[in-house]
Amino acid sequence: MSDAPRPGEAIAETSLAEDARLTFIGRLSTPWRERGDCPRQGSVDGPECRVEVFPRWQAALDGLERFEELELLYWMDQARRDLLTQFPAHLSAPRGTFALRSPARPNPIATSRVRLIGISGRMLTVRGLDCVDGTPLLDIKPDRCAFMRRG
């Protein structure tokens, strides 16, 4: 997949010098090796994916099994970070980056609401992702509207 700007796209002048410091808490395993293979948005009817939480964060999973749906935040590590406007293939005209859910953004943070299928130790099985295999994980939150399984 080419990263070259398309007609109608504009690029910001930025050095990204004011980057926040984030820490990756895990890694996402999905069936998709290339960006072009991924769905545009995940679906809870999609394939099972694995969420590996790094060992130092395992205790932070305590209680998560109560929730049926989670919000995952992940870092789109292959995305450009300097596009002001973008012309995605599914649109008929360019649009501003902040009017899109494209992974190309100054801080390429993606979110998906996923169905929690199960937890084993620090490995979660979920449905609803849309990212390349190996995409770094930033955070896990119980979905605001999700029903608790029990307790």
Note the residues at the interface with ligand SAM (CB under 6 A). 35, 38-42, 76-79, 101-103, 110-112, 130-132, 135
User: Cβ 92 to ligand SAM, closest distance in Å?
Assistant: 17
Least separation in angstroms between CB 46 and ligand SAM: 11
In the bound state with ligand SAM, the residue whose beta carbon lies nearer, of 33 and 56, is 33
Of 46 and 67, CB closest to ligand SAM: 46
| Choice between 39 and 142, CB closer to ligand SAM | 39
Nearest 10 degrees: Cα torsion 97, 25, 131, 115 = -110
What token pair was written down for 52? 């590996």
CB-facing half-sphere around the CA of 9: CA atoms within 13 A: 18
What are the start-end ranges of the E strands in the chain?
10-11, 26-29, 48-53, 69-75, 83-86, 95-96, 109-120, 123-127, 135-142
Q: What is the DSSP string of 3-43?
A: -SPPTT-EE-----TTPPP----EEEE-S-SSGGGS-SS--
CB closer to ligand SAM, 65 vs 71: 71
Smallest gap from residue 102 Cβ to ligand SAM (A): 6
Which of 64, 100 has the CB closer to ligand SAM? 100
Of the candidates 69, 72, 81, 138, the residue with the CA atom closest to the CA atom of residue 111: 72
Shortest reach from residue 149's CB to ligand SAM, in Å: 24
Give least dist CB 122 to ligand SAM, A: 21
